[in-house]
């Protein structure tokens, strides 16, 4: 099945590209998610007209992403998690957790733009990339610390 991408899709293509995908992927993910439209002759003509406006829109998005990237460069997030032996976390810190913390600080960023290959499962300091635009990537500092247990926090007299 051939589709025309309406949005940038990781490892598939950029907005306006005509790509060939498996039928199920197109019907069950791209089309319902409004990420693509079917590549019919009429849609191809519409897309050609939309490419001009898409270039202008992309330039505005890039400028906004660069502004956001400069403000995100100074952001530091700290997560406190319960740990077991050898400082191994119970649970993990995911891209959803990072997106939620950023939202609390006033930055609205989709969790899919946070490029964590695997959730953070150990204590330490990490530099997490955030892909704000196809040409703009910012990094934030994420620190995962051990949560103080109640016995350590309140010594018995």
Report the distance separating Cα 31 and Cα 50, nearest Å: 18
SS3 16: coil
Give every CB contact of residue 106 below 8 A, 6+ residues apart in sequence. none
**pLDDT for 128-146, tens place per residue?**
899 888 888 888 999 988 8
Strands 88-93 and 76-81, bridge-based pairing: unpaired
Contact 44, 18 (CB under 8 A): yes
> Domains of the chain: which residue ranges?
2-62, 71-152
pLDDT of residue 22 exceeding 90, the answer is yes
pLDDT score at 150: 53
pLDDT of residue 156 exceeding 80, the answer is no
Share of the chain above pLDDT 70, in %: 94
Strands 76-81 and 136-146, bridge-based pairing: parallel
pLDDT of residue 65 exceeding 70, the answer is yes
In CATH, the number for domain 71-152 is 3.10.430.100
pLDDT of residue 153 exceeding 60, the answer is no
| Distance, CA of 106 to chain centre | 16
Contact 76, 143 (CB under 8 A): yes
**pLDDT for 76-90, tens place per residue?**
999 888 888 777 788
Cα three-residue angle 95-97-102, rounded to 5 degrees = 95
Cβ neighbourhood burial of 120 (10 Å; 0-12, 13-18, 19+): buried
Which class is 2-62 in CATH? Answer: alpha beta
2-62 with 71-152: one CATH topology?
Answer: no
Residue 118 pLDDT level (bands cut at 50, 70, 90): confident
Considering only 34-48, 74-88, 115-129, 142-156, which range has the smallest mean pLDDT?
142-156
SS3 134: coil
Report the distance separating Cα 99 and Cα 81, nearest Å: 17
Between 57 and 3, the higher pLDDT residue: 3
pLDDT of residue 31 exceeding 70, the answer is yes
Report the distance separating Cα 19 and Cα 39, nearest Å: 9
């Amino acid at each position: 099945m051939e589709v025309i991408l309406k949005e940038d899709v990781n490892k598939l293509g950029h907005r306006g590209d005509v790509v060939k995908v498996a039928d199920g992927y197109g019907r069950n993910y791209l089309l319902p998610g409004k990420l693509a439209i079917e590549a019919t002759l009429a849609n191809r003509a519409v897309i050609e007209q939309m490419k001009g406006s898409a270039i202008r829109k992309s330039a505005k998005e890039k400028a906004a992403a660069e502004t956001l990237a400069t403000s995100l460069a100074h952001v530091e997030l700290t997560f406190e998690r319960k740990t077991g032996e050898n400082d191994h976390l119970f649970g993990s810190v995911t891209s959803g957790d990072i997106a939620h913390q950023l939202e609390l600080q006033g930055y609205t960023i989709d969790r899919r733009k946070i490029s964590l290959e695997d959730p953070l499962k150990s204590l330490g300091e990490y530099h997490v990339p955030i892909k704000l635009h196809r040409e703009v990537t910012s990094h934030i500092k994420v620190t995962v610390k051990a949560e103080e247990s109640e016995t350590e926090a309140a010594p018995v007299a």
